[in-house]
Amino acid sequence: MSAELEAYRKALERAHEHSLAWLASLAGRRIGPTASADELVPQFGGALQEGPTDPAAVVDELVALSAPGLMAMPSGRFFGWVIGGTLPAALAADWLVSAWDQNAVLRFATPAAAAAEEAAGAWVLDLLGLPAASGVGFTTDATMANFVGLACGRRAVLERLGHDVRTAGLGGAPRITVLVGQERHASVDLALRYLGLGQPTAVAADSQGRILPGALAQALEGIDGPAIVCLQAGNLHSGAFDPMREAIAVAHRHGAWVHVDGAFGLWAAASPLLRGRLDGLETADSWATDAHKTLNVPYDCGIAMVAQPEVLRSEFGFSTSYFIQDDDGPGDPFERVPELSRRARGVPVWAALRSLGRAGTIALVEGLAANARALAGGLARLEGVEVLNDVVFTQVCLAFGSDERTRQVTRRLIEDGTVWMSGSSWQGRDILRISVSNWSTDDADIAASIDAVARALAAVPG
C-alpha cells in the first residue's frame, strides 16, 4: 500500500470509529454541550505549530477537543429550532461525496453526480406534487433556495416590463414590491436584501400566522408596479400553512410572481393525510425547501424549484470558454444554483429517498407530525401547561403561565439535559417551542421528554 493510501486508511478508520461511537452515545447522553465556544477556542487555537501532525492523530485530537462542545442534534430528544437528524443512507452517501470529491458543476465532468441530482430532483418534484418539468437546484440551505426562487421572480416580473435585470441591473428598473406574510421567516428578508429588493411589505396573518388572502388582495390593489408574493408552507412557530390556492390565485390575478418558502413544511405535500393543507401548492411559480430539515440528510442541503426551468437557467447560467457545457440537454447543475464550485450535495438526497422509498418518505413526514401531536397531547395534560398553537404539523408552542415562569422552566429544562427545546416569543408571549424533525424520535423519547418538562415545571413554582 502506498504511503498516501495508508494515511487515508488510518485517518478514515479513526473517523469511522469515532463516528459510530458518537452515534452510539446519543441514546444516553446529555443533549446540550458542557463547554462554551469561548472556553474551547484557546484549546483549539494558539499559535499554529511549525511541523506536520499525523492525519490519524489529527482526527483523534479533533474528537477529544470537540467532545465537550458538541450538541446532540442528531438525538431523538433534540427538538430545538427546526433541525433534523441524519438517515443512515444519507450520512453514508455524504461521506462518499467527500471521498469522491466531485466538483458538481458540469454534466460532462461529473456525470454520476449530475445524474444522481437530476434523479433526486425529479423524485422530490413527484413526491411534493409539483410540476415535473420544473428546474431543480441543490443549494446550501433554504435561505439560498429562497434566494434562487426570488431571483427568478425578480427577473421574470421585470422582463415582462421590458427590463433585463441581467444586463441592466436594478438601476432604472421599476420598483418591485415584495409582499410577505407578517410571520415569514427572517431568512426571506435576508434573501431579498441580497437581491437588492430591500424590506418587504408585511401582510396581516391570522392567529396561526397564515397570511390573510383578503389582506393580500387589498395590498396588491394598491400597487401598480411589478410584484412578488412570498408565501409560507410551515410557520416556524405554529407549523401552519398559508392558504395556497386562494393566495396564489389572488397574486396571479395581479400578475405577481409567487414563491413559497417551505423550508420544512413543503414536505407535508408528500403525505396524503396532510396534502390537503397545501391544496393549490403546485400553482405557484417557485418553491424552496430544505433536505437537511424534514428529509433528514446532513447539512448543507436546500432545494430550489422553479416551474419554468428556462427562467432558472437564464438567471443563473452563463457560458465561458473553458467549460464544456451541456448546451443541448437539460443544462448543467451550476445553471440552477448561485455558486459554481460545490460538493455534490444532491447525492445524499438521492440516497435518502432510495432508502425510504415513497412509503418511507410518507411515513417519515407523518411520523414527525404524529410525534408532535403526541408531545402536545402529553404535555397538555400537565398542570400549568398551555399549548398555544393548533398542532397541524411538526411544531408545538407552549407557555407555562407568565412569561417569567415560561423562561424559568425553559432554563431548567435545558439544564436538566434530557431534551432540548428552544425558547422563543410568539404573538407577544414568551414560549417554549418544540420542533419534531428527527426521524429517530420514538415513543421512549416522547415519554422521557414529557417527564423532563414535568420535572422542570415542578422545580419552578407557578
Ligand X SMILES: *Cc1c(COP(=O)(O)O)cnc(C)c1O
* Interface contacts to ligand X, rule CB under 6 A: 82, 141-143, 185, 187, 234, 236, 261, 263-264, 290, 302
Nearer to ligand X, 85 or 234 (CB): 234
In the chain the first and final C-alpha atoms are separated, in Å, by 67
Angle at CA of residue 26, ends 21 and 29, nearest 5° = 105
Burial state string for 364-388 with b = 16 or more CB within 10 A and e = fewer than 16? bbbbbbebbebbbebbeeeeebebb
Residue closer to ligand X by CB (options 142, 227) is 142
Kindly state the smallest distance separating residue 233's Cβ from ligand X, in Å: 8
- Pick between residue 285 and residue 332 the one whose CB is nearest to ligand X: 285
Q: How far is the CB of 263 from ligand X (least distance, A)?
A: 3
Which grid cell sits at 325? Answer: 457545457
Q: Provide the H-helix boundaries in 26-110.
A: 37-44, 55-66, 88-100
Residue with Cβ nearer ligand X (102 or 187): 187
Q: Determine the Cα–Cα distance for residues 460 and 462; give it in Å rounded to an integer.
A: 6
Kindly state the smallest distance separating residue 149's Cβ from ligand X, in Å.
12
**CA neighbor of 236 nearest in space, from 268, 263, 258:** 263
| Closest to ligand X by CB, 263 or 353 | 263
| d(C-alpha 154, C-alpha 160), whole Å | 10
Rounded to the nearest 5°, which phi and psi values hold at 222?
-80, 5
Name every residue whose Cβ is closer than 8 Å to that of residue 205 and which is 6 or more positions away in sequence: 181, 182, 183, 211, 212
Nearer to ligand X, 56 or 274 (CB): 274
Q: Work out how close the CB of 282 gets to ligand X at its nearest, in angstroms, rounded to a whole number.
A: 19
CA dihedral sign, ordered 196, 187, 274, 355: positive
Length of the chain: 462
Cα-to-chain-centroid distance, residue 185: 11
CB-wise, 179 or 263, nearer to ligand X? 263
User: What's the closest the beta carbon of residue 26 comes to ligand X, in angstroms?
Assistant: 22
Angstrom distance (rounded) from CA 324 to CA 105: 10
CB of 338 to ligand X, least distance (A): 13
DSSP state of 344: -
List Cβ<8 Å contacts ≥24 apart for 24-29.
25/72, 26/72, 26/74, 26/75, 26/76, 27/75, 29/72, 29/75
Question: Nearer Cβ to ligand X, position 102 or 140?
Answer: 140
Q: Distance (Å, rounded) from C-alpha 36 to C-alpha 54?
A: 28
Residue 255 to residue 247: CA distance in whole angstroms:
13
Q: Residue 68 and residue 290: Cα distance in Å, rounded?
A: 28
Residue 142 CB, nearest distance to ligand X (Å)? 3
> Which residue number, 80 or 331, has a Cβ lying nearer to ligand X?
80
Cα–Cα nearest to 347, from 160, 92, 54: 92
70: phi then psi, degrees, rounded to nearest 5: -95, 135
- Closer residue to ligand X in complex, CB, 236/374: 236
**In the complex, minimum distance from the CB of residue 143 to ligand X, in angstroms, rounded to a whole number:** 3
- Minimum separation from the CB atom of position 295 to ligand X (A): 12
**What is the closest distance, in whole angstroms, from the C-beta atom of residue 230 to ligand X in the complex?**
10
Set of cell numbers at residue 324: 464544456
